[in-house]
Structure formats: structure tokens, C-alpha cells
Amino acid sequence: MAFIETRGNDGKKPKEVTFSEAILNPSASFGGLYVPKNFPTLDSSFFDEFKNKGYKELAKAILSSYKIDINDSVIDEALKRYDSFDDSKNPAPLARVEENLSICELWHGPTRAFKDMALQPFGAILSKLAEQKKENYLILAATSGDTGPAALSTFEDKPYIKVACLYPHGGTSDVQRLQMVTMKGKNLKVIGINGDFDDAQNTLKSLLASSEFKETLQAKNIKLSAANSVNFGRIIFQIIYHIHSYLELLREGKIKKGEEVVLVIPSGNFGNALGAYYAKKMGLPVRKILIASNNNNVLTELINEGKYDLRDKKLVNTTSPAMDILKSSNVERILFDLFGSSRTKELMEKLEKENHYELTQDELKTIREIFDATYSNNEEVANAIREYAQKGYIMDTHTATCLKSYKQLSDKKLQTVIYSTAEWTKFSPVVYNAVNNKNEKLHDKEALEKISQKFKIAIPKSIKELFESKITHDCLIDKQDITKEIVKFI
């Protein structure tokens, strides 16, 4: 299947590329993104067939319906990564919390956040491609806490790949930091910077734009790629679990084939929600996709009012840091799908130049037929965690932003799936305060143990071990020294 560009073609890049080209070199003309030219459809027999099959078989069928230019054996190898999840047969189980409400847990992988669902198999494919081509790649990542560990884990000890990961020192949880700085692979570099996530991300952007850095890479014969969700190689794996959760509801007998469901998605860069949108486009019976945000509520404004306006906005730190984002990259793919490439180019350029754009009333109406949105502040997040803890379900802060959307849902008769994007163990101090209605300053280790005892839930071995593991990365530097440090590493 061919991939085309969201902002149209500049006459220099090829008009169409293959899947492997799009994932190895994810930047398209005019700063746009790659998207599939056509979409496969799920017909009625698909649901009968896959109702009785496992996750990996489903994944394989979806990947082959996109006709990607990746060998079957490489795909099988990539899907084997799900064997390291808690339940290799079902990496994304559904927990039922109410009669009409399930929570699809996307965090049963090695780093306990939903990033593993896509980054694990994606990493296997990308490193295999690099090996086949005998090309060296450098993956640069700036992380607020979840992408970093997941990217490091998926590429650890892979030949032809090096990963340099920047994180804001003091800006992540203890668990997230330890997941990075105890990583053993020789091909990995973890750099703490004195600054916040914006500093990390901005430094990375200026590094990517620097011609001196590009020349250094060229001289060493190293190519750059990206592991964030602008890379379609991640998106494709994020379509699959939305179809899987529908099949799970069918298996449980909660819905009949063809019955519509509602999906609620805690969103930042909009990769997870885009996966749901593509699944709906392929024919998954989804009535609405509800977008949940925190106080960085750009997506709520876009979907409710049709405006993307950053002029009076500053990033605020919330208790759901993976969603502390103002420029949500994958919205662009929705704009393209609904309004075409010239309109997308116009809107994205306006956002880049003037820091805002507005949709027409008709465009807003089109978006609202598919999406709805709400946001929760820290207090509402804590209240939701406490309420469900009392009912016996412990959730993390990101997942908890979804409960307000669910409560506001006018038609509760439909089966609803909330996507849980991190295990509570990654954010245990906040979860501890929420369930106890307190405001204490605990370290992760103490909070983990207290919650585990109180609610009799296990802490996974991979998290417990972190506190005993040797720190292998102790690099902590100022912004201006990052280039030097990365050049030294490669």
C-alpha cells in the first residue's frame, strides 16, 4: 500500500512511498506526515472469523490488510514481542468496572505504559530493516516519562540502532527515571537535563535542524529516525487494539455484531485516538470517540469550538504529565483525512506562523459527528481515582481523565471502553494521595508498598527490581552541552 503526504507534495520528495520508507524517514513534504492512500475495510465475516482468534492473529491480519512491504517472517518476529507481556495471548485485557463500562488495559508490557503496545513491535521492525539495509540509525527521543523507557527498551542491544534519550531531571516520577537510568544496553544513551520537558523537546528540535549536526551524522554514515507517534509505524499498531477491544466485548456477549460502542481516550499527541479513528474508518462500529484531556485542554477547545489557539496558552504541569502537550501532532492526520491536503497545509502553516487556526462551522460539524471532548483538572482526576478505588479498581492519573467524559455521556446504554494508558505503579505517589484524600510527599517506593498492601494488588517484578538495580546512566547536563554529549556518544 502506498503512503501519501498530509500537506501535499513539494516536487522534490517522491509523491508516494512504501510503508518501510515512511517509517525509516517519517518527515514528508512541507513538514507534513505520511498517511495511507487507501484504507482496508472490515467486512461482516471478519468479526465472525476473528471472534475466536488471538491477539497476534488479529494483528497479523490487520497488518496484511494494509499490504505493508515487510516480510511475513519479520512481522511474526515483531508480534512475538507480545509474548513478554503479562498474558502473551491477550496483551490488552478488558476489566469490567460497571455494567456498561470496561477498561482496556494497554499497560501490560515491559515498561507498564501503553507506549509498549506499539513501540515493542515497531522497534523490532525498524531494527530489522536497518539490519537488512546495513544502515546505521540514530533515534533521538525527548520524553516526559513514558516514551523514553519504551523506546530504550524496544531497541536495547539492537545492532545498527543507537538511541539517545533526553529527559527533564526532576520532571518524571522515580519509577520512570529509574526505568531509563538503569537500562543496560551499550547502544543506549540517557541524558538528564537541567530543565523541563519543553526544554528537552526544544533542544532536540534545534539539534535536528542544525546543519553542523547533520554533517557530523553524514560523516559517520548515520541516519536519523523518530520513534514518536508522527511515525506511522507506531500508528498501525495502535489501530489493532481498538478492534481487539470490540472483539472482546463480542466474546463477553456484551454486544452483538454490528452494535455500536463508545471509546474514551486519554489524549496528548493524539496517536491513540487516531488509531481509533482509523479503526472506525475501516468499519469498526463506533458511535463516538471521546477525547479526554487535562488542563492543557487544546483538544477540548478544538473539538468543541473548532479553534486551535495557542496565543494565550502556556503549558501547565499536571498530575497526568504524558498529556501535558500543546502541539498535538496527529491532529494533522485527522485534518487531512476530513478536509484534504491543501486545507491541512493552510491550517498547519497558520498554526506555525500565527499560533492559531479556526475551522469553519461545517468543518467543526464534521469533526463533532465523530469526536467529543472534555478535560479534567487535578482535583477531578484525584476524585475519579478515589471513587473507583472504593469500588475496587485502581487506575492511574491519565486513565482517570476519562471518567468525566464517561459521566457526561448522555447515552449510557451503549457499551463504553475507556483506554487505560499506564499502570498505577508509574504514578504511585499521586495515586496514594488520591485514594487517601491526602497531600503527602511520598517517594514512589513507599507509595507503591502502601497501595499494594491496602488494596492487595501486586507490584510487578519489573517495577520492584528498579529500586535495587545499578544506575548505569548518570549523565546530567545543561541544555547547551547536549550536542557535544550526543556527538561523543555516536
Ligand X SMILES: *Cc1c(COP(=O)(O)O)cnc(C)c1O
* Region from 53-61, 199-207, 260-268, 373-381 binding ligand X, contact rule CB under 6 A: 260-268
Q: Does 109 bind ligand X (CB under 6 A)?
A: no
The nearer residue to ligand X, 318 or 416, going by C-beta atoms, is 318
Question: How many angstroms separate the first and last alpha carbons of the chain?
Answer: 34
- Determine how β-strand 222-225 pairs with β-strand 307-309: unpaired
Q: How far is the CB of 150 from ligand X (least distance, A)?
A: 8
Q: Does 113 bind ligand X (CB under 6 A)?
A: yes
Q: How far apart are CA 162 and CA 217, in angstroms?
A: 12
The nearer residue to ligand X, 130 or 273, going by C-beta atoms, is 273
Q: Of 475, 430, 182, which Cα lies nearest the Cα of 321?
A: 430
Contacting ligand X within 263-282 (CB under 6 A): 266-273
Are 291 and 271 within 8 A, CB to CB? no
Query: From residue 54 to residue 83, what is the string marking binding to ligand X with x (rule CB under 6 A)?
Result: ------------------------------
Are 36 and 3 within 8 A, CB to CB? yes
Contacting ligand X within 369-408 (CB under 6 A): 398
67-88 burial: b if 16+ Cβ within 10 Å, else e: ebebeeebbeebbebbeebeee
The nearer residue to ligand X, 272 or 416, going by C-beta atoms, is 272
The nearer residue to ligand X, 228 or 344, going by C-beta atoms, is 228
Angle of the 271-281 helix axis to the 232-251 helix axis, nearest 10: 60
Q: What is the dihedral of CA 426, 302, 346, 1, to 10 degrees?
A: 50
Q: Does 422 bind ligand X (CB under 6 A)?
A: yes
Q: Which of 42, 68, 142, 323 binds ligand X (CB under 6 A)?
A: 323
* Region from 113-121, 251-259, 433-441, 463-471 binding ligand X, contact rule CB under 6 A: 113-121
Q: Which of 173, 229, 405, 415 binds ligand X (CB under 6 A)?
A: 229
* Region from 111-119, 121-129, 206-214, 254-262 binding ligand X, contact rule CB under 6 A: 111-119
Q: Of 168, 109, 111, 203, which Cα lies nearest the Cα of 480?
A: 203
Helical spans, DSSP H, in 402-480: 402-408, 428-436, 444-455, 461-466
Q: How far is the CB of 109 from ligand X (least distance, A)?
A: 12
* Region from 107-115, 164-172, 387-395, 453-461 binding ligand X, contact rule CB under 6 A: 107-115
Q: How far is the CB of 322 from ligand X (least distance, A)?
A: 3
User: CB count, 10 Å around CB of 107?
Assistant: 28
The nearer residue to ligand X, 423 or 486, going by C-beta atoms, is 423
Q: Does 304 bind ligand X (CB under 6 A)?
A: no
The nearer residue to ligand X, 279 or 323, going by C-beta atoms, is 323
- What residue ranges in 134-214 does DSSP mark as E strands? 136-142, 161-168, 188-193
Q: Using CB under 6 A as the criterion, which residues of the chain lie in contact with ligand X when the complex forms?
A: 113-115, 146, 229, 266-273, 322-323, 398, 421-422
